[in-house]
């Protein structure tokens, strides 16, 4: 029992000692192994650094070789270019020497030519003096006599040719004029003067013109294509003009351009949207104006297509007269006249309202506005009596009823009443003055007077300076200058008056 108790503690001590020794041994072994691993890693890292350094040195050497080769090539190119420039310099110097020699030769030749020219001039002067001595006239007097003779002969020939051409033109033009005059008078281009085919759109400042035009004209082309008009951006201060012979398109363009200027966003997409919106607005106005005209004139039962064309007359003018108001006024006048003489009031009113219906589309359809309006009325079921009144209000066809004559009279009264059709006073005065100035600017004219509101100009010539043949030529010259210079409706008659007065005194 005592031995066992002694052995156990000794065994425990020995076991603890052995475990401690084994732990120290293992710790030392692990440290040795860790140190060896660190040494291997350091060696590998040093080797990798040496490899990288070697690669960098090799790349540096290669780049240096490449740069040296490139530098050598550029040096060779520079040397070749210097050689070429030296060669050209030498050629240029040779050419300069040749040019200098040629200039010296030309200078010598020019001196010789000048000497010969002086000698020739002296000889010609001597010959001229000899000719003047023999002829008894100076060179200037001989030239004036020759020019006068040629001028007289040419004037006679020219006057005869002018007379023959005028006679042929009169004979040829009479038949054509009868056929074309009525149609031409009704066309839009001849009925609307410039101020009625152009709408002016005010702008806040001239800076907005550049935005309207856009880069490389993109905006203005988009607007003209979308609206179907011409936009004129010129030096007019704070204004842009919209031109079109279609009054509806012009009104759409004017409204759209005004909105774009107020909005400030001017680009092709916004332009298309604004133009489309303005078209819808104008269509609403056309419909409302057509219905209002029928109501004011007392003509019920018209189809929407007819009312729309009547509404389009709101944007149509003729010699300054609003065709929409003219239609309503003609209908009222026709109704009053028909009631007074016992004719059909409803037919007279309808004929008066619709007599100029063709003017709403005469820029789109060939023919006179009377024929176009009658065809439209027949197409949409208007009574034949009213159709005849529309077609015959300018006596292009026979008037088949009394109401047709009443419509013609009402149209004439509405168009001819004071203040119905007018010309701008400033433009009228300017045109009259320009007409007289053109006539007075012709040689031989003493005085000129514009008559009949500018439809005729009478030219008074001096009988001592102008003969009968020259008077004919002056009339032709004044007419040509007026055609080339002025813009006017119809035609202007030029009358040249050459009056010889004989005065004596009884003593």
My answer on whether 368 and 437 are in the same domain is: no
The pLDDT of residue 423 = 52
The pLDDT of residue 228 = 82
Which of 68-77, 468-477, 483-492 is predicted least confidently? 483-492
Maximum alpha-carbon separation in the chain: 206
> pLDDT of 120-148, one tens digit each?
888 888 877 777 676 666 667 767 777 77
Among residues 278, 291, 226, which one has the least CA distance to residue 252? 278
- Expressed as residue numbers, the domain containing 158 is 144-186
In a domain, 470, yes or no: yes
Q: Which residue has the tokens 């108790």?
A: 5
My answer on whether 303 and 411 are in the same domain is: yes
State the average pLDDT for the chain.
80
The pLDDT of residue 349 = 92
Tell me which of 264 and 190 has the higher pLDDT: 264
My answer on whether 416 and 459 are in the same domain is: no
My answer on whether 430 and 454 are in the same domain is: yes
Rounded Cα gap, residues 23 and 30, in angstroms: 10
CB 385 within 8 A of CB 401: yes
Which of 93-102, 238-247, 376-385, 389-398 is predicted least confidently? 238-247
The kind and range of the H/E element at 490 are: none
Domain boundary among the residues 164, 186, 208 is at 186
Residues in the chain: 507
My answer on whether 406 and 429 are in the same domain is: no
The pLDDT of residue 195 = 40
- Structure tokens, 415: 């168009």
Other Cβ atoms less than 10 A from the Cβ of 226: the count is 20
Report the SS3 class of residue 495: strand
Report the SS3 class of residue 304: helix
CB 403 within 8 A of CB 348: yes
My answer on whether 334 and 448 are in the same domain is: no
My answer on whether 348 and 375 are in the same domain is: yes
Position 387 pLDDT exceeds 90: yes
Share of the chain above pLDDT 90, in %: 5
Rounded Cα gap, residues 406 and 331, in angstroms: 10
Rounded Cα gap, residues 103 and 109, in angstroms: 10
> pLDDT of 232-273, one tens digit each?
887 777 788 888 777 888 888 888 888 888 888 888 888 888
> pLDDT of 15-49, one tens digit each?
888 877 787 777 777 777 888 888 888 888 888 88
In a domain, 35, yes or no: no
The pLDDT of residue 439 = 85
Tell me, rounded to whole angstroms, the distance of Cα 238 from its chain centroid: 18
Among residues 254, 262, 261, which one has the least CA distance to residue 278? 254
Domain boundary among the residues 153, 186, 219 is at 186
Position 329 pLDDT exceeds 60: yes
In a domain, 365, yes or no: yes
CB 223 within 8 A of CB 234: no
DSSP category for residue 264: -
In a domain, 6, yes or no: no
The pLDDT of residue 139 = 65
In a domain, 506, yes or no: no
In a domain, 81, yes or no: no
My answer on whether 441 and 477 are in the same domain is: yes
My answer on whether 332 and 437 are in the same domain is: no
Position 189 pLDDT exceeds 60: no
- Structure tokens, 358: 């063709």
Tell me which of 9 and 393 has the higher pLDDT: 393
Domain boundary among the residues 186, 220, 244 is at 186
CB 381 within 8 A of CB 394: no
The pLDDT of residue 44 = 85
Contacts 24+ apart (CB under 8 A), 487-490: 487/193, 487/194, 488/431, 488/454, 489/190, 489/193, 489/319, 490/455
The pLDDT of residue 422 = 53
Three-state SS string over 371-396 comes to HHHHHHHHHCCCCHHHHHHHHCCCCC
Binned at pLDDT 50, 70 and 90, residue 377 comes out as very high
Rounded Cα gap, residues 176 and 131, in angstroms: 59
| CATH code of 405's domain | 1.10.3210.10
> pLDDT of 194-209, one tens digit each?
344 677 778 877 777 8
DSSP category for residue 93: H
Residues 6+ apart with CB under 8 A from 423: 193, 319, 320
The pLDDT of residue 192 = 35
In a domain, 429, yes or no: yes
The kind and range of the H/E element at 458 are: strand 456-461
Q: What is the pTM of this model?
A: 0.45
CB 197 within 8 A of CB 244: yes
Rounded to whole angstroms, what are the CA distances from 83 to 71, 87, 174? 18, 6, 85
Parallel, antiparallel, or unpaired: how do β-strands 493-498 and 321-322 relate? unpaired
The pLDDT of residue 177 = 46
The pLDDT of residue 386 = 92
Burial letters 16-51, b for 16+ CB under 10 A, else e: eeeeeeeeeeeeeeeeeeeeeeeeeeeeeeeeeeee
Binned at pLDDT 50, 70 and 90, residue 219 comes out as confident
- CA atoms within a 13 Å half-sphere pointing along the CA-CB vector of 56: 6
Q: Which residue has the tokens 């008894």?
A: 136
My answer on whether 328 and 317 are in the same domain is: yes
Parallel, antiparallel, or unpaired: how do β-strands 239-243 and 230-232 relate? antiparallel
CB 2 within 8 A of CB 8: no
Share of the chain above pLDDT 70, in %: 88
My answer on whether 347 and 417 are in the same domain is: yes
In a domain, 460, yes or no: yes
Per-residue pLDDT, averaged over 299-325, amounts to 83
| CATH code of 441's domain | 3.30.300.30
> pLDDT of 407-462, one tens digit each?
988 888 777 654 555 555 566 677 788 888 888 888 888 888 888 777 788 888 88
Per-residue pLDDT, averaged over 80-103, amounts to 89
My answer on whether 372 and 406 are in the same domain is: yes
State the total domains in the chain.
3
């Amino acid at each position: 029992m005592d031995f066992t108790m002694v052995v156990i503690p000794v065994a425990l001590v020995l076991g603890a000692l052995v475990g401690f020794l084994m732990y120290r041994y293992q710790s030392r072994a692990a440290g040795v192994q860790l140190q060896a691993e660190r040494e291997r890693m350091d060696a590998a890292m040093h080797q990798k650094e040496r490899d990288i350094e070697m690669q960098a040195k090799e790349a540096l050497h290669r780049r240096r070789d490449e740069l040296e080769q490139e530098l050598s090539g550029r040096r060779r190119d520079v040397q070749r270019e210097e050689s070429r420039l030296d060669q050209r310099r030498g050629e240029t110097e040779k050419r300069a020497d040749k040019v200098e020699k040629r200039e010296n030769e030309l200078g010598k030749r020019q001196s010789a030519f000048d000497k010969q020219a002086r000698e020739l001039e002296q000889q010609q002067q001597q010959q001229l003096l000899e000719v003047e001595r023999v002829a008894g006239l100076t060179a200037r007097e001989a030239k004036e006599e020759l020019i006068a003779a040629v001028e007289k002969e040419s004037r006679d020939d020219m006057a005869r040719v002018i007379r023959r051409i005028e006679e042929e033109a009169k004979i040829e033009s009479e038949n054509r004029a009868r056929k074309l005059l009525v149609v031409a008078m009704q066309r839009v281009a001849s009925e609307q003067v410039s101020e009625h085919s152009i709408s002016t759109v005010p702008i806040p400042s001239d800076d907005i013109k550049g935005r309207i035009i856009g880069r490389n004209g993109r905006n203005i082309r988009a607007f003209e294509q979308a609206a179907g008009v011409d936009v004129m951006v010129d030096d007019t201060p704070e204004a842009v003009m919209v031109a079109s012979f279609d009054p509806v398109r012009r009104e759409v363009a004017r409204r759209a351009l005004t909105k774009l200027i107020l909005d400030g966003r001017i680009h092709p997409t916004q332009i298309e949207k604004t133009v489309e919106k303005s078209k819808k607005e104008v269509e609403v106005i056309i419909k409302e104006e057509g219905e209002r005209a029928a109501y004011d004139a007392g003509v019920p039962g018209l189809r929407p297509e007819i009312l729309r064309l009547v509404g389009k007359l709101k944007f149509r003018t003729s010699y300054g007269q609003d065709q929409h108001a003219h239609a309503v006024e003609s209908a009222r006048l026709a109704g009053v006249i028909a009631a007074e003489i016992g004719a059909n009031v409803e037919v007279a009113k309808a004929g008066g309202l619709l007599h100029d219906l063709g003017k709403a589309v005469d820029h789109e359809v060939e023919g006179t506005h009377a024929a176009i309006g009658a065809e439209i009325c027949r197409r949409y079921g208007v009574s034949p009596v009213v159709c005849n009144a529309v077609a015959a209000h300018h006596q292009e066809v026979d008037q088949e009823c009394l109401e047709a004559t009443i419509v013609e009279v009402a149209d004439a009264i509405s168009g001819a009443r004071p203040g119905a059709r007018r010309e701008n006073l400033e433009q009228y005065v300017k045109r009259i003055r320009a007409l007289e100035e053109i006539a007075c600017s012709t040689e031989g004219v003493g005085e000129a007077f514009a008559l009949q509101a500018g439809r005729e100009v009478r030219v008074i010539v001096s009988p001592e300076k102008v003969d009968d043949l020259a008077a004919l030529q002056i009339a032709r010259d004044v007419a040509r200058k007026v055609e080339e210079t002025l813009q006017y409706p119809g035609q202007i008659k030029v009358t040249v008056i050459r009056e010889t007065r004989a005065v004596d005194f009884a003593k």
